[in-house]
């Protein structure tokens, strides 16, 4: 498959021309304007939650007043979080992060960080990543994974024993029916069937697709980090001239927020509030804890690829500075400290003293250079987007006299000597 011809430095993209964008483009909806993002969201929302709602109206209307909330699709706030909030955020994130990545590509080409003789190789790398973007095999993996995860969400309910106490809108009881290696005790409702084989796979595909895009971006960063970068220790961004990478990674906070709401809070909240799962259950607290810690690290860790070159640049700059600063400082001392004071001497050395003050500021800039290209603002965005969605779960988790005690005890078992 040939690479698209518009992959110039300013047009480098992880999204343009892939399967989802081609499908939506056939509907006449592009991806550049904010209104196009709104139309995409409306289309995806309509063929997922909208159809499930239509299929659930009759069932919800006929439920008795004392029926469990879990049997009513319209009480499933996990679905609201996933389709009302999560889906739009994923689609908005594509536009925001895609533009930021294009900007990073342009910075690599135009700021001088990549030497002119390496620019052709950089173009080759971007063409290789574009080839992955347009290839079918990542899409096939994403689609298969999405159907598997969607089936595993509701599929186990088909063989749940009668009278287990767990009720949902996904399935309804049937007479035990042998099927392959299992005995089916439940079968899908109309809405559950549509959710399992269309709505959930599509919603899951959208975030699994993001996993593929993140992998492509990390591959790009890994290949670029192998260049001999033209870093400047005294650069105002305090990261040798590649501070723009921190800004790019900070934009992924929107993606963390989307998954936190749709994949963590929605799932955990539904399990606790509707299915009455205990908070000290490892799949509950483990998912929350793993997300809070792992999500920010996932986007900060790739920047460590540049640490070796940044550290080497800083050490070399400090060594060169010390050598030159020693000569300058010695000249000032010889001309001012080690001679009798006079007005003529003061005037003659005043310029050297001003130069010494400049050297002090220059040293502070080099010494303050970071060897990992991210700043506290970007790190704060990532951490905040991981913690923020969990606020609705605080009443359930932060009860130290209740389930948290068991959680802490479970964590302490992993410590040495426990």
Length of the chain equals: 418
pLDDT in tens, 74-113: 888 788 888 998 899 999 999 999 999 999 999 999 999 9
The two beta strands, 182-188 and 171-179, are antiparallel
Residues 6 or more apart whose CB falls under 8 angstroms from that of 408 comprise: none
H/E stretch holding 173: strand 171-179
Encoded tokens for 168: 């949902």
In a domain, 347, yes or no: no
Greatest mean pLDDT among 49-58, 63-72, 173-182 lies in 49-58
Give a yes or no: residue 334 inside a domain: no
In the chain, what percentage of residues exceed pLDDT 70? 82
Helix (H) or strand (E) holding 347: helix 343-367
pLDDT beyond 80 at 7: no
Q: Per-residue pLDDT for 16 more than 90?
A: no
Per-residue pLDDT averaged across 284-305, rounded?
88
Examine the pLDDT at 413 and tell me if it is beyond 60: no
First-to-last alpha carbon distance for the chain, in angstroms, is 57
As a whole number of Å, the CA-based R_g of the chain is 29
Given a cut of 80, whether residue 61 has pLDDT beyond it is yes
**pLDDT surpasses 90 at 416:** no
Q: Among residues 288, 222, 210, 212, which one has the least CA distance to residue 252?
A: 210
Q: Please spell the DSSP secondary structure of 212-277, one letter per residue.
A: HHHHHHHHHHHHHTTS-----TT-TTSSTT-THHHHHHHHTHHHHHHHIIIIIIHHHHHHHHTS--
User: How far out from the chain centre does Cα 116 lie?
Assistant: 32
Q: Is residue 326 part of a domain?
A: no
DSSP state of 7: -
pTM of the model: 0.82
- Establish how many alpha carbons lie within 13 A of residue 379's alpha carbon, considering only the half-sphere containing its beta carbon: 12
pLDDT of 119: 94
Q: Where is 207: in which H helix or E strand?
A: helix 200-224
The alpha helices in 111-199, defined as continuous H runs, are 119-134, 137-154, 190-194
- Structural domain including 220 reads 19-311+372-412
Domain assignment present for 356 = no
| 367: in domain | no
Of 228, 223, 232, 287, nearest to 259 (Cα)? 287
Classify residue 354: in a domain, yes or no: no
Contacts of 31 by beta carbon, 8 Å cutoff, 6+ apart: 15, 16, 21, 24, 37, 40, 94, 95
Element (H, E) at 172: strand 171-179
Cβ pair 129, 214 in contact under 8 A: no
Domain count, the chain: 1
pLDDT at position 9 over 50: no
pLDDT (0 to 100) of residue 397: 64
Distance between CA atoms of residues 238 and 250, nearest Å = 16
Residue 198 lies in a domain: yes
Q: What distance in Å separates the CA atoms of residue 184 and residue 159, rounded to the nearest whole number?
A: 5
Distance CA 327, CA 193 (A): 79
Domain assignment of residue 3, yes or no: no
């Amino acid at each position: 498959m040939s690479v698209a011809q518009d992959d110039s430095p300013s047009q480098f993209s992880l999204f343009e021309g892939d399967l989802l964008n081609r499908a939506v483009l056939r509907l006449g909806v592009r991806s550049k304007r904010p209104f196009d993002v709104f139309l995409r969201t409306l289309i995806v929302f309509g063929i997922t939650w909208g159809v499930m709602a239509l299929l659930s109206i009759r069932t919800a209307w006929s439920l008795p007043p004392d029926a469990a909330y879990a049997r009513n699709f319209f009480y499933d706030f996990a679905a609201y979080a996933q389709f009302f909030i999560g889906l739009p955020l994923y689609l908005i994130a594509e536009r925001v992060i895609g533009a930021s990545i294009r900007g990073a590509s342009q910075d690599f080409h135009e700021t001088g960080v990549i030497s002119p003789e390496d620019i052709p190789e950089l173009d080759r790398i971007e063409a290789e990543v574009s080839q992955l973007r347009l290839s079918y095999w990542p899409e096939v993996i994403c689609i298969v994974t999405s159907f598997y995860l969607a089936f595993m969400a509701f599929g186990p309910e088909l063989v749940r024993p009668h009278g287990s106490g767990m009720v949902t809108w996904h399935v309804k009881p049937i007479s035990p029916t042998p099927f392959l290696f299992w005995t089916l005790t439940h079968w899908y409702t109309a809405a559950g069937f549509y959710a399992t084989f269309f709505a959930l796979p599509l919603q899951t595909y959208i975030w699994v697709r993001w996993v593929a895009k993140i992998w492509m971006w990390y591959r790009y960063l890994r290949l670029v980090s192998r260049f001999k970068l033209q870093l400047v220790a005294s650069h105002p961004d305090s990261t040798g001239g590649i501070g723009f990478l921190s800004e790019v990674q900070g934009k992924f906070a929107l993606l963390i927020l989307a998954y936190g709401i749709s994949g963590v809070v929605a799932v955990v909240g539904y399990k606790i509030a509707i299915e009455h799962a205990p908070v000290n259950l490892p799949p509950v607290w483990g998912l929350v804890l793993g997300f809070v810690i792992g999500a920010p690290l996932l986007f900060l860790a790739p920047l460590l690829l540049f640490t070796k070159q940044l550290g080497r640049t800083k050490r070399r700059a400090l060594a060169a500075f010390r050598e030159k600063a020693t000569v300058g400082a010695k000249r000032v001392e010889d001309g001012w400290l080690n001679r009798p004071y006079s007005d003529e001497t003061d005037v003659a050395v005043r310029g050297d003293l001003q130069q010494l003050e400049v050297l002090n500021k220059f040293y502070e800039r080099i010494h303050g250079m970071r060897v990992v290209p991210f700043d506290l603002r970007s790190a704060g965005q990532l951490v905040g987007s991981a913690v923020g969605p969990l606020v609705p779960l605080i009443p359930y988790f932060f009860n130290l006299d209740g389930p948290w005690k068991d959680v802490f005890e479970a964590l302490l078992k992993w410590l040495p000597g426990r």
